[in-house]
């Protein structure tokens, strides 16, 4: 813990003698997050106003990446034509169900990548970090 206030926070004048004391304290366990502790005379009180400024910054979030398929140039007729020439009989010839499912997924993924390719789009973070 570190005491942040270094100057007098109370000044009293009695019999022409001015006494100053540091009666208002601010302790901090992370001093690098506080840049300045200041004392401001208010004028109508024997206590001065104490304030502290912080070194806090809202961290920027990394830009987001949106991954999706682009259907801009998708043609349903061409897709059907290409699906008709896929060797589906290779799936029927598989004895293992896991291998058949894997081959089906490969055929379908290849057709989708050909007709509706995957596009990545980077979007910057425009929202405030405290709003999800």
Query: What's the pLDDT tens digit per position in 3-20?
Result: 777 778 787 778 878 778
Q: What tokens does 64 get?
A: 């987001």
Q: What tokens does 14 get?
A: 């009695």
Task: Output 110 or 35, whichever has higher pLDDT.
Answer: 110
Other CB atoms within a 10 A radius of the CB of residue 69 amount to 13
Confidence band, pLDDT 50/70/90 cuts, at residue 132: low
How much is the pLDDT for 103? 93
* 119 pLDDT more than 90: yes
* 77 pLDDT more than 70: yes
Whether the Cβ atoms of residue 115 and residue 79 lie closer than 8 Å to each other:
yes
* 130 pLDDT more than 70: no
How much is the pLDDT for 48? 82
Task: Output 132 or 125, whichever has higher pLDDT.
Answer: 125
How much is the pLDDT for 118? 92
- Exposure b/e, 5-42, CB count within 10 A at least 16 = b: beeebeeeeeeeeeeeeeeeeeeeeeeeebeebebeee
What distance in Å separates the CA atoms of residue 78 and residue 72, rounded to the nearest whole number?
14
């Amino acid at each position: 813990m570190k005491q942040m206030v270094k100057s007098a926070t109370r000044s009293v004048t009695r019999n022409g003698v001015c006494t100053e004391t540091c009666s208002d304290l601010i302790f901090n366990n992370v001093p690098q997050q506080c840049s300045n502790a200041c004392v401001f005379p208010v004028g109508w009180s024997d206590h001065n106003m104490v304030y502290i400024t912080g070194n806090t910054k809202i961290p920027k979030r990394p830009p987001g990446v949106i991954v999706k398929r682009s259907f801009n140039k998708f043609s349903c007729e061409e897709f059907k034509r290409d699906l008709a020439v896929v060797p589906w009989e290779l799936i029927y010839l598989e004895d293992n169900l896991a291998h058949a499912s894997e081959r089906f997924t490969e055929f379908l993924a290849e057709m989708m990548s050909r007709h509706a390719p995957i596009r990545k789009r980077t979007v910057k973070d425009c929202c405030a970090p405290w709003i999800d």
